[in-house]
Amino acid sequence: MNRNLKVLSLKYRPQKFGDLIGQDIVVETIINSIRFNKVPNAYLFTGIRGVGKTTLARIVAKSLNCSKGFDNICSDNLCENCKAITNSNHIDVLEMDAASRTGVDDVRELIEFSRYGPSIAKYKIFIIDEVHMLSKQAFNALLKTLEEPPEYLKFIFATTEIKKIPVTVISRCQRFDLPRVKSAELFDYIKKIKDKENGKITDDALKLIIKISEGSVRDSLSLLDRALLSLDKNDELNLKKAQKIFGYFDKSQLINLFELIFEGKKNEVLNVYKSIFDQGIEPKVFLNDFLEILYFFKNIESLSIDGNNFSLNDEEYNLIKKISNKIEQNTLILFWQFTIKTLGELDIVANQNLSIEMFLIRLMYLKQINTKSGKISHSSNEVLETETLMSEKVEIKTDGNLDLKNKTVDQIKNISQEKRLNQETQKEKKLNDLSINSFNDLLKICTLKKEVKLKYELEKNVNLVNFEQQRIEISFNANLDKEFVKILSSKLYDWTNKRWIITFSKEKGSPSIKEKEKIIKKNIFEKNKDSLIYKQILESFPDAEMTDVKVIKGESDE
């Protein structure tokens, strides 16, 4: 196959340790283990996609089996072993995709194959990609061979989800966590490849590729390949063209949007958002990028151009720094919380686009809550009427200005909220003021405090013997909850802030509340059977029979 026809991620796939980028510590450790003949039974490489797990596995296989030896490992003129491993057709190096061969039978076949020594190489090596996809039974079948393999047998596992691999397997491997490749290092790498491919791409466009790839070398090369294919011979790919190709909008639009929000220019704000939406940007993507810009505004003093994963160029960085000097930090925190809240609301709104527009309009009513100038273009009444759901509190001065300096940010409340809070405070105060002077008082406070189970036990299973201040003497039946005394003592202490003594008596005590109700009901039943009304009913309806009576609250047997 002509290598020039390959995609960039395959064309420039590392073939030796020196070609790998971003994995210096891992490479150094593996080289030392091979050089000092301390090769483990199994390697386990884990990390996100595109950081070199499978590539590293093949390089290790070549390093162990190179005909020239490790110290003289092939670089250009490949030996038969290195050439066959590179082309994935070596008889002693078996690559297996666990995603397509997950069963225990596949592993048993592999174990059976491992019984025979290598044919032409020093080691027989099994490279299992996406090893976390193996079934539980397959892992169990592999354990014994993995722990005590023959000297000629080595395993190399690669996975993106280390948590799905049983601990018993991990403990039998030498584990290496491959980190994301740093942005600066990845930038230099794809810039060199761009030059080799004679591509005309600006540094800002390359930085956008790095940002989208999120530290994955394969992703960055795939994006670079896509960018090069979109160019004509004499064209140069700049940032704006790259944003259109990859579906990313210019961050400077968001920064301008912030500036317009703080200037209170409603129509301009909506027009900028509509232009962003017309580019095909989803509302959730917009809000996430909005949060990212908020983060930069909040932490711009502690960030540098090279340290923010190429999210900002020089012009954007300087513009954010300039605007941030006019904004109080509390306001940015307020915006952050409001944006998070809006993200949660998107799933319940049919037209998410309209929800974003309302979000931006509401931000304008909050824009000057805490500016350094202290001036606001809207009255405090508008602010209160517009936002009642925020998790912050502002103190309103009599001159109509809002002051947050040296104040605790809490919640903006309207009149109805204040009224409700006052009612709840009065209710709580009323509950705390209740005193317990009798058994009935105890039942009442159980009702007020919504202690349903405790009240049920007191009414159903407790016979009162004596009730005094901070002392209750009771007897009980077999149905009483075992934790009753502990719960009652704790609640009494919480309600009265005093220790109560609860003792059990051998005396029967007065009937429980439920027993009293039954007695009262029975007396009323008998009393009504002898009543004149009941006798008159029987005269008219001889077959009638009284089966039950309803006791009205407060009615007794008197």
CATH number of 434-510: 3.30.300
Question: What does the pLDDT read at residue 221?
Answer: 92
Tokens of 203: 């540094």
| Residue indicated by tokens 């000092």 | 36
Question: What does the pLDDT read at residue 313?
Answer: 64
**Residues carrying CATH 1.10.8.60, the chain:** 183-246
CA-based R_g, the chain, Å: 38
Residue 115 in contact with residue 127, Cβ under 8 Å?
no
CATH architecture of the domain covering 183-246:
Orthogonal Bundle (1.10)
Question: What does the pLDDT read at residue 338?
Answer: 86
Q: Is 162 exposed, middle or buried (0-12, 13-18, 19+ CB in 10 A)?
A: middle
Q: In sequence order, which residues have a C-beta less than 8 Å from that of residue 191 and are 6 or more positions away? A: 203, 206
**Residues carrying CATH 3.40.50.300, the chain:** 3-177
Question: What does the pLDDT read at residue 411?
Answer: 43
**Residues carrying CATH 1.20.272.10, the chain:** 251-403
Measured distance CA(219)–CA(205) in Å, rounded: 15
Question: What does the pLDDT read at residue 392?
Answer: 42
Can you point out the beta strands (E) in 469-509? 471-476, 501-504
Domain topology for 3-177: Rossmann fold (3.40.50)
3-state secondary structure of 99: coil
Q: In sequence order, which residues have a C-beta less than 8 Å from that of residue 158 and are 6 or more positions away? A: 44, 45, 46, 53, 54, 57, 127, 128, 129, 130, 131
Residue 99 in contact with residue 194, Cβ under 8 Å?
no
Measured distance CA(506)–CA(486) in Å, rounded: 20
Low-confidence ranges of the chain (pLDDT < 70): 1-5, 249-250, 304-314, 367-434, 551-558
**Residues carrying CATH 3.30.300, the chain:** 434-510
To the question of domain 251-403 being in CATH 3.40.640.10, the answer is no
Question: What does the pLDDT read at residue 311?
Answer: 64
Question: What does the pLDDT read at residue 387?
Answer: 44
Task: Considering only the C-alpha atoms of the chain, give the largest distance between any 2 of them, rounded to a whole number of Å.
Answer: 121
Give the strands of the sheet with 42-46, arranged side by side: 93-97, 124-129, 153-159, 42-46, 174-177
Question: What does the pLDDT read at residue 373?
Answer: 43
3-state secondary structure of 298: helix
Full-model pTM: 0.58
